Structure 1
Amino acid sequence: MKSLPARLPLGLKLLFTAFLAVMVPVYWVNYGPTNFLYFCDISLLLCLISLWTEKKLPASMAAVGILLPQVLWCLDFLGELFGVHLVGMTAYMFDPNRSLFLRGLSFFHGWLPFLLVFLVKRLGYDRRALWAWTGLAWALCLVAYFFLPPAGTVLPDPKIPVNINYVFGFDDAHPQTWLPAPVYLLAWMAGLFLVAYLPTHLVLRKWLAPRRATSALPAHSGGESEWGQREPAILSR
């Protein structure tokens, strides 16, 4: 029995793997292991899994989770570039204490969404992604809130991340003060679902929904019966 041909180019798999082979140790040394708990870094790992296994669920999860947030990242970067402060999530890209190479690796935020759209279009969209990603993202938020340094923490190495996944507000130097911290956390988790994950899921589900067979085929046209079995055509073409 012949094996099915790969649906994803080998060159793409190797190129993405090579990028991670460089990025992961560089990030580990500079930012520490907790940096890989950011949604975007988790999405990179899901993308790697999907590339090599050609399973649609990991790519679908990453797409649901970061397509809209990465748009915000790009807008914030452009704002900072032209002197307009939006939310400050890309301020580190302009930190002269970080090498250009280190900052340059973070430009994956700009091209990863396009790769995920390609993967989901090629492999299909898995509708389980909404709840699978939401559960994962909420778990990461809880870990960051209860176990990792909050916003405003001064660490010996300023590159080590605090306020991972913005569970204390968008300003890493100061936690938000307009809501009690636990209330903000719950509002943030709910907001991520309602504003980012659910709309992306609905768009991907509609855009990539499999076309249903119609009953408009003429009788005895060689189409499928209502039981899903192929009916023989009376007239050959």
Structure 2
Amino acid sequence: MPTASASRLPLWLKLVVTAFVGVLVPVYYVNYGPTNFLYFCDVALLLCLISLWTEHARPASMAAVGILLPQVLWCADFLGELFGVHLVGLTSYMFDPNRSLFLRGLSFFHGWLPFLLLFLLQRLGYDRRALWSWTALGWGLCLVAFFLLPPAGAIMPDPKIPVNINYVFGFDDAKAQTWLPAPLYLLGWMATLLLVVYMPTHLLLRKVFAPALAVPAAPAAPAAVATPAHTPAYH
């Protein structure tokens, strides 16, 4: 971790985001369960926190590749729902009266996280390896959600527990898509994420931001200066 004098990011920002994550994680765990942290956006928030403290650009770059475009859609969907226009239903849970205002309010990180990631890239640079690093991570999360987690339409003991994480069964959590066999849909979804979401975002970030900067190393301690041993005088 860089020393305070060499830090490229303000300490107050690190502390504020850490405090927010420190509140969000236990609240989400209690209300949504541990699988909620496998959503792309939640993983991106944790990667952002890692970049804040280590000042390595790669975690923030990965998060930016993965969620900048989806979070724009999230914000557009929320504004649409707010004014009575249903777009894709990504944010319908934000208007669920069975969830407390505090719980729903925590989800507003979807709105400010993209700006924080852009700030980090401006300070730290963009790591060109992020495209394939995030793709491997994102595809891994999709496979876990498809093979191990509840599908769309699953009846959970608590309706807040997520199903169809990362939309691997379609865009409707109430029922799985039926126009393609499920494995074929999954492969198509993973390819779409790469070609439509990750690749264009990577190309734009690579064009806009400078390459990632090296993390400043802590200054080395000055080498001890050898002093000649005292040679006794002979008379």
Deviation, 1:199, is 0.5
User: Which residue of structure 2 lines up, in the alignment, with residue 153 of structure 1?
Assistant: 154
Distance 2:114 2:4 in 1: 30
SS at match of 1:205: helix
Structure 2 segments unaligned to the other structure (5+ residues)? 212-235
Aligned to 2:24: 23
Structure 2 length normalisation: TM-score? 0.87
Amino acid at match of 1:96: P
Deviation at 1:53, TM superposition (A): 0.3
Q: CA deviation at 1:78?
A: 1.0
Report the number of matched residues. 209
Measured after TM superposition, the shift of residue 32 of structure 1 is: 0.2
Residue correspondence of structure 1 range 42-191 to structure 2 within 5 A: 42-191=43-192
Equivalent position SS for 1:154 = coil
**1:119-144 deviations in whole A, cap 9, x for unaligned?**
01100000000000000000000000
Deviation at 1:209, TM superposition (A): 3.7
Q: What amino acid does structure 2 have at the position aligned with 1:69?
A: P
Cα displacement (A) at 1:81: 1.2
Large movers: runs of 4+ above 2 Å: none
Measure the CA separation in 1 of the matches of 2:175 and 2:93: 15
Report the identity percentage: 79
Structure 1, unmatched stretches of 5+, are 211-237
Which has the higher relative contact order, 1 or 2, with Cα contacts under 8 A spaced 6 or more apart? Answer: 2
Alignment partner, residue 224 of structure 2? none
CA displacement at 1:79 relative to structure 2: 1.2
Correspondence for 1:216: none
The offset of 1:18, in angstroms, is 0.3
Distance 1:3 1:119, change over 3 A: closer
Q: Deviations over 1:6-51 (max 9, x none)?
A: 0000000000000001000000000000000000000011001000
Structure 1-normalised TM-score? Answer: 0.86
Q: By how many angstroms is 1:179 displaced?
A: 1.3
Residue deviations 1:96-127, cap 9 Å, x none?
00000000000000000000000011000000
Q: CA RMSD in A?
A: 1.1
Secondary structure (helix, strand or coil) at the match of 2:6 reads: coil
Alignment partner, residue 14 of structure 1: 15
The structure whose Rg is larger is 2
Partner secondary structure for residue 7 of structure 2: coil
- 1:232 is matched with which residue? none
